[in-house]
Amino acid sequence: MNIAVVGTGYVGLVSGTCFAETGNNVMCVDIDANKIDQLRAGKVPIYEPDLEILFERNQRQGRLKFTTDLQEAVDMAEVIFLALPTPPGEDGQADLKYILGVAKDLSKMVTKYTVIVDKSTVPVGTAEKVNAALLEHLDGSLFDVVSNPEFLREGVAVNDFLKPDRVVIGTDTERAEKVMRRLYEPFVRSGNPIIFMDLRSAEMTKYAANSYLATRITFMNEVANLCEQVGADVDAVRKGMGSDTRIGKRFLFPGVGYGGSCFPKDVQALAHTSNQYDYEFKILNAVMDVNTRQRFRIADKLQEAYGDDLKNKTIAMWGLAFKPNTDDIREAPALYTIDRLIEAGATIRAFDPEAMDNVKAVYGDKVIFCEDQYEALKGADCLAIMTEWSMFRTPDFNYMSSLLNEPVVFDGRNLYDVERMKEAGFKYNSIGREAIS
C-alpha cells in the first residue's frame, strides 16, 4: 500500500519505518526542512534500538521517503497517518492546533478516496473535529477518519510496533475497516487481535490504558513507601502480588515516579476531559499528586540523611533518561532531582550512556558530566541511581567504594540485593526496602 505519515517525531518515524518494513511504500512528511534533509541523508534523530537498521534498509530499497511537500505525499497515499504533536496547553488539555491545521490543509489537497488516521494520542471527540475540518473543502465520500492509537514504548518501540499485543482501530465505515485490516494483518500473524470499535472508544482506550498503567505504578510506589514504614520488603510483596494472574507481574516496579512523554501528559489530559464532562475522576488526581511527590523521593532521602543544605556535598548520579534504552529526558525524575539538589547547593557529577547531550543542553555547566559511570563517583559523597540502565546492574563494588568518599548509595530503582550491599560494606537506601545505615 501507499502510505503517508505526517509528522516525523517518535511515533511517526517508528510507524513509517515499520510500515515500510512490511513492504508498503511510505512517504514521511514534516514542515521542518532541516529534519527532512537529515532523514534523507540517512540520519535518524532519535536513539531507539533497532530503528536505524530498519530505517537504513527501507530507505536504501526505496520504500521509505521523506518530503516537506504535503501535496506530494497526499497524491501518492491511500492512507495518511497523522502523527503530530499534541502538547498539553496550560490547562492540561491536549492542544490540537497541529492536527486540525493539517486536516484543514488536507481538505484542499485530497482528490481520491483516502483514509485519514489519527495516530497521535488525542482527546475523545478529536476524530469528529478532524472530520469537520476535512469537510470544509472536501466531499465526505472521498475520505474516512480513523482513530488508531499507538501503544509502543520507547526503548522497545520497533518490537512493540512489529509485534503489538493488539491493534485498536476506531472507525465507522466498512470501507476504512477493510483498508486498516489489510494494512495491519502482517503485524498480528501470531494471532493477536485487531480490535475494531467506534471512534470515541478507540480514543478513550489509549487514555484509559496509559492512565491505568500510571495508576498501577503509582499504587506500587505508595505500597513501597509504606513498606519502608512497616518494615516490609516491596520486592517480596511485588512478587507475591504479581503471581496472582489477575494482577500479573509486569509494571509493578516501584521507583522514583513515572516520567516520559506519555504518562504524565495523558493522565493530566484524561483528568481534564473528565472535568469538562463535570465528572471528577478522583483516582487520577491522586495519581498525579503522588507521582509529583514520588519524583523527589531520592532527593528527600538525601536531604533526610545530610540535611536540607547540601552545599558541601558532591553527589554522583547514574542515569538521567526517564527510563533505560532511550535518550529521552522528558519528565525524567532525574531532572526534578537535579533541580532540587542544585537548589540545595550540591555539586552533581552525572553519567548516562545516551541522554547526556540532552541534559547538557538544559543545564550547561551547572552539572558535571562524566565520561563513564565510575568517573562520576570520583570524590563524590554518595551515589544516586535514577535510571535502571543494564550496565549499572553488576558494577565493581570494590572499585566503587574506592572512588566514593564514603560507600553510600541511594537507589531509586532497586537495582541491588540489600544483603549483598550489606556484605559489600555499603550504606544503602532504596525504595520500599530495608535501609542500611
The residues of the shown chain that bind ligand UDX, judged by CB under 6 A, are: 150-154, 210, 213, 217, 251-253, 255, 258-260, 262-263, 322-323
Give the closest residue to 383 by CA, choosing from 322, 323, 417, 341. 341
Q: What value does the CA radius of gyration of the chain take, rounded to a whole number of Å?
A: 24
User: Residues 9, 85: contact at Cβ < 8 Å?
Assistant: yes
Q: Which is nearer to ligand UDX, 151 or 184 (CB)?
A: 151
- Which whole-number Å values give the CA distances from 206 to 6, 47, 240, 361, in the listed order? 20, 24, 29, 32
Would strands 79-82 and 64-67 be described as parallel, antiparallel, or unpaired?
unpaired
Of the listed 28, 227, 262, 382, which one is catalytic?
262
Give residue 375's identity as a one-letter amino acid code. E
Exposure on the CB side of residue 208, measured as CA atoms within 13 A:
8
CB 47 to ligand UDX: min, Å = 13
Provide CB contacts within 8 A for 327, sequence distance 6+.
Answer: 46, 47, 321, 354, 355, 357, 358
CB 294 to ligand UDX: min, Å = 9
Coil, helix or strand for 371?
A: coil
Give residue 274's identity as a one-letter amino acid code. S
Alpha helix stretches (DSSP H) within 41-125: 51-60, 70-76, 97-109
Q: Which is nearer to ligand UDX, 252 or 421 (CB)?
A: 252
Exposure on the CB side of residue 49, measured as CA atoms within 13 A:
11
Q: Which is nearer to ligand UDX, 132 or 208 (CB)?
A: 208
CB 413 to ligand UDX: min, Å = 8
CB 332 to ligand UDX: min, Å = 8
Q: Which is nearer to ligand UDX, 153 or 293 (CB)?
A: 153
CB 303 to ligand UDX: min, Å = 22
- Which whole-number Å values give the CA distances from 158 to 28, 176, 180, 299, in the listed order? 17, 25, 19, 34
Between helix 126-135 and helix 97-109 the angle, nearest 10°, is 30
Give the closest residue to 253 by CA, choosing from 23, 432, 18, 97. 432
Q: Which is nearer to ligand UDX, 63 or 323 (CB)?
A: 323
Lookup: cell for 159: 518490537
Q: Tell me the residue number closest to ligand UDX, measured at CB.
A: 262
**Is 262 a catalytic site residue?**
yes
Give the closest residue to 294 by CA, choosing from 260, 319, 258. 258
Provide CB contacts within 8 A for 62, sequence distance 6+.
Answer: none
Q: Which is nearer to ligand UDX, 389 or 426 (CB)?
A: 389
CB 213 to ligand UDX: min, Å = 6
CB 335 to ligand UDX: min, Å = 12
Q: Which is nearer to ligand UDX, 138 or 152 (CB)?
A: 152
Coil, helix or strand for 147?
A: strand
Would strands 25-29 and 2-6 be described as parallel, antiparallel, or unpaired?
parallel
CB 3 to ligand UDX: min, Å = 20
Give the closest residue to 76 by CA, choosing from 125, 51, 37, 109. 109
Lookup: cell for 131: 472530520
Q: Which is nearer to ligand UDX, 263 or 428 (CB)?
A: 263
Q: Which is nearer to ligand UDX, 317 or 377 (CB)?
A: 317
Instruction: Check the CA dihedral 359-365-370-374 and report its sign.
Output: negative
CB 90 to ligand UDX: min, Å = 22
Q: What is the Cα–Cα distance from 64 to 78, expressed in whole angstroms?
A: 15
Residues known to be catalytic: 262
